[in-house]
Amino acid sequence: MVNAFDLVWLIAALPFLSFVVSVTVGRWLPKEGALPGIAATAGSLALSLWAFLTVRSSGAHYENELYTWIDAGGFELTFGVLVDPLSSMMLVLVSLVAFLVHVFSMGYMNDDELHREKGGFPRYYAGLGLFSASMLAFVFSSNLLMAFMFFELVGLCSWILIGFWFREEAPPSAAKKAFLVTRFGDYFFLVGVVGILVTFGTSGFADGGFPQIASHFLETGEGADHIWVPGDLDTQTWFSILGLLVLGGVIGKSAQFPLHTWLPDAMEGPTPVSALIHAATMVAAGVYLVARMFGFYAGLPTVLAIIAFIGGFTALFAASMGVVKDDIKQVLAYSTISQYGYMMLALGVGGYVAASFHLLNHAFFKALLFLGAGAVIVATHHHQDMWKLGGLKREMPVTYYTFLAGSLALAGIVPFSGFWSKDEVLYDALLIGLEQPLFLAAYAMGLLAVFLTGFYTFRMVFLTFHGEPRSEHAEHPEPLRWNTKGPLAVLGVLATVTGLLNMKPVAELIGNHDILYLENWLDSGTAANGGEWMGSLTYHHYGHLVHEVAGLHEGSPPPSAELAPIVFGAISLSLALGGALLAKSIYDVPEPERMTDRLGPVGRVVQRNYYLDEFQVWLATGVTEPVARASNTFDQGIIDGAVNATSSVSLFSGERVRRIQSGAVTNYVLVIVMSLIVFVVAVGIVGGWFL
């Protein structure tokens, strides 16, 4: 019988095949590449589910030598697969979202008149296929180098797809920005990868991989002679540096402060692409990477603190910008940044399960929200300014109710999925924060962001769907077909129910930890190929590292242990509800007003994204370009100038010296005679004739 694990590579190969088909013969196919894409991602989804179920029944699987890329000089660099609870869950998630996005794209692109006019569908579906393939391969990567390679390919695909409408001005520029900003992060990542390869001689994630070596060393101090450390650096410091370097790539791809600026601009791409980028592929890749190599981070308290702090800060910072945006996609973009901030916060406090949980929930509700926004956009003939929408509730009920489900999840209203995961993130942060003040600050920022999230989410819902239509397009939206509604319905259901996977407060209350399905799933540790190594990829192990090696102890919350999750859950729920109600009171009226103008200078600063975009543009055009121009001037002037000067000096001196030759014989004779006289006199003086 064929083993699911032997076919894991096909999960990525199928979408890649659809990429090849779309590129080569796509333009002659009936839906110009949509059908192979749908078929391929459906196949990936089926295989992923199979792999998931196989992990459930027979345990995880690790194979580091699917293909040897290079084998030289002491270590080999390979491609392999690692299918454990985390990656199999992620595979299902990514292939599901990719599949739904492909289906939705048929409605969004092929059925829309304007998009048909613009054309380029084979390129679009080729991009989607390659995007899905790279992300899926990234997810099942067995080592960091392979992960990096597909991480970069994900970046390439985002460039292709964000700049999909390349005949306009803005999309290519946004694509460039997205690639450059993430490339800046990836630079640090690449240094980190190279460093890890050199330090440990391997970049494997699992069996004998670098997280294992590192945590073993940190725990016991053994194995130091197999670890290369530059100069006389302290080994733990060096590990922290490596961890921070890799984190650079994570910050870039997961759009964390200060490298988040590319993501709002990336809205220039087609909306289904935004759904794919935000929910399941590119942005998720960063957080997934930290989770994947969490065994490395878990033992490094400094790095954990930085991760947590960046996460908490980003959550608040992005939420504050989401409050003032007028474009529905921009609001969603900032909410994405904010939500990934939560995941980083969770990872920073050792909340591996909470982060994975939020990653899962977020993937579903954010894909849902983006696809819903896409549905609104095609239905209203490409209007995405919320002030030109309104009142769509009546005409687009399916879109409205699914969008509402997604919004409730995003805002964190019980019992929708976002509540459970966000609550768990914050609870984990609080537990660490009670002992470590720095983490408490991160927690506080995360908590404040909950209020803002509730506010901007419902501001968006009310402005888009409630009230009276504020433009004629919003009055008569185009009807949608099954291929747009279907994915929305599927995701709507998922966004509502996935929270039930890990109801921590309920579990604590009833004292039954069996209903923490996700936690148990991520803690399951039998190995398909029989090794002990799976233990190093479990939640327990990570928890042990965070608490014992990194020394981040959990404080005990003031109320009793059973009630505490409920109490703090209630706090964050009431904050979210408060935000939602505030939004209702302001915007759920027939004639809502623009409140942003009343915020004065603060509002302007926030609306301009704290001038961070301007700052980065200034870095590029105000610093780098002048330096480049100056070096060019230096090069042309000084270096090439010196070269040309050598030739000019020769030419010039030749020009001058030849003037001695006047052509008049008389002058020559004079020179001869004078020389003779000078010579004779000189000889005379030296010879002493005149003495």
Partner 1 sequence: MIIEALLAVTLLGGIAVLLAPDRLAGKLAFGISLGPLLGGLWMFWQFDGSGNLMFDSAAKSFESSLSGTTLLSMGPWDVQWLAAVDGISLPLVVLSTILTTLAIVSAWTPIDERQSQFYALVLFMEAALIGVFTALDFFVWFVFWEGVLVPMVLLIGVWGGPRRKYAAIKFLVYTNVASAVLFVGFLGLLAGLDGTITSFALPEISQAIHAGELQGVGPFSPEELATVSFFAMFAGFAVKVPIVPVHTWLPDAHVEAPTPVSVLLAGVLLKMGTYALLRFNFTMLPEVAMANAELIAAIAVISILYGAMLALAQRDLKRIVAYSSVSSMGYVILGLVAFTVYGVGGATFQMLSHGLISGLLFMTVGVIYNTTHTRMVGDMSGLADRMPVASWVFVAGAFGYMGLPLMSGFAAELFVFIGAFGAEGLQYSPIFTALGMFGIVIVAGYLLSAMQKSLFGPFRLETDYEIGRAPFHDVAPLFVLLGLIVLLGVAPDVVFDMVESATQPIVDAAAENGGGA
Partner 2 sequence: MTVPVEWYLVLSAAVFCIGIFGILTRRNALIFLISVELMLNAANINLVAFSHFYGNATGQVFALFTIGLAAAEVAIGIGIILVLTRNFGEADVTLPTEMRW
> Residue 620 binds which entry of partner 2, partner 1, none, with Cβ cut-offs from 5 to 8 Å by kind?
partner 1
User: Whose Cβ is closer to partner 2: residue 620's or residue 677's?
Assistant: 677
> Residue 664 binds which entry of partner 1, partner 2, none, with Cβ cut-offs from 5 to 8 Å by kind?
partner 2
Q: Roughly what angle, to the nearest 10 degrees, separates helices 121-139 and 8-25?
A: 160
State the binding string over 43-82 for partner 1 (x if CB under 8 A, else -): -------------------------xxxxxxx--------
Binder of partner 1 out of 65, 113, 168, 593 (CB under 8 A): 168
CA distance 272 to 652: 67
* The two structure tokens encoding residue 326: 């007028």
If binding is defined by CB under 8 A, does position 183 make contact with partner 1? yes
> Residue 584 binds which entry of partner 2, partner 1, none, with Cβ cut-offs from 5 to 8 Å by kind?
none
> Residue 663 binds which entry of partner 1, partner 2, none, with Cβ cut-offs from 5 to 8 Å by kind?
partner 2
Residues 6+ apart with CB under 8 A from 203: 77, 143, 144, 145, 193, 196, 197, 209, 210
State the binding string over 210-239 for partner 1 (x if CB under 8 A, else -): ------------------x-xx--------
CA distance 154 to 87: 17
Look-up of token digits 């579906």: 125
CB atoms within 10 A of CB 566: 16
User: Whose Cβ is closer to partner 2: residue 68's or residue 650's?
Assistant: 650
Determine contact, residues 21/39, Cβ cutoff 8 Å.
no
User: Whose Cβ is closer to partner 2: residue 561's or residue 665's?
Assistant: 665
User: Whose Cβ is closer to partner 2: residue 561's or residue 660's?
Assistant: 660
> Residue 673 binds which entry of partner 2, partner 1, none, with Cβ cut-offs from 5 to 8 Å by kind?
partner 2
User: Whose Cβ is closer to partner 2: residue 387's or residue 668's?
Assistant: 668
| Interface region with partner 1, contact rule CB under 8 A, candidates 195-203, 212-220, 385-393, 594-602 | 195-203
> Residue 670 binds which entry of partner 2, partner 1, none, with Cβ cut-offs from 5 to 8 Å by kind?
partner 2
State the binding string over 633-652 for partner 1 (x if CB under 8 A, else -): --x---xx--x---x-----
Read off φ and ψ for residue 77, nearest 5 degrees.
-110, 125
Binder of partner 1 out of 3, 512, 574, 624 (CB under 8 A): 624
CA distance 320 to 607: 9
If binding is defined by CB under 8 A, does position 20 make contact with partner 1? no
Question: Residues in the site for partner 2, rule: CB under 8 A?
Answer: 658, 661-666, 669-670, 673
> Residue 153 binds which entry of partner 1, partner 2, none, with Cβ cut-offs from 5 to 8 Å by kind?
partner 1
CA distance 446 to 518: 23
User: Whose Cβ is closer to partner 1: residue 18's or residue 484's?
Assistant: 18
User: Whose Cβ is closer to partner 2: residue 69's or residue 652's?
Assistant: 652
CB atoms within 10 A of CB 228: 13
* The two structure tokens encoding residue 547: 């608490």
Q: Roughly what angle, to the nearest 10 degrees, separates helices 282-292 and 85-105?
A: 180
The closest alpha carbon to 345, from 463, 264, 450, belongs to 450
User: Whose Cβ is closer to partner 2: residue 639's or residue 673's?
Assistant: 673
Determine contact, residues 151/289, Cβ cutoff 8 Å.
yes
User: Whose Cβ is closer to partner 2: residue 70's or residue 673's?
Assistant: 673
User: Whose Cβ is closer to partner 2: residue 665's or residue 686's?
Assistant: 665
Binder of partner 1 out of 3, 512, 556, 632 (CB under 8 A): 632
Determine contact, residues 528/59, Cβ cutoff 8 Å.
yes
Long-range contacts of 169-175 (CB under 8 A, 24+ apart): 170/268, 171/268, 171/269, 173/265, 173/268, 174/262, 174/265, 174/266, 174/267, 174/268, 174/269, 175/266, 175/268, 175/269
Half-sphere exposure of residue 147: CA atoms within 13 angstroms, side-chain side: 32
CB atoms within 10 A of CB 418: 30
> Residue 662 binds which entry of partner 2, partner 1, none, with Cβ cut-offs from 5 to 8 Å by kind?
partner 2
CA distance 236 to 552: 16
If binding is defined by CB under 8 A, does position 148 make contact with partner 1? yes
> Residue 639 binds which entry of partner 1, partner 2, none, with Cβ cut-offs from 5 to 8 Å by kind?
partner 1
Residue 150 Cβ, how far from partner 1 at the closest point, in Å? 7
Binding site for partner 1 (CB under 8 A): 68-74, 145, 148-150, 152-153, 156, 159, 163, 166-169, 171-173, 175-176, 179-180, 183-184, 187, 190-191, 194-195, 197-199, 228, 230-231, 620, 624-625, 627-629, 631-632, 635, 639-640, 643, 647
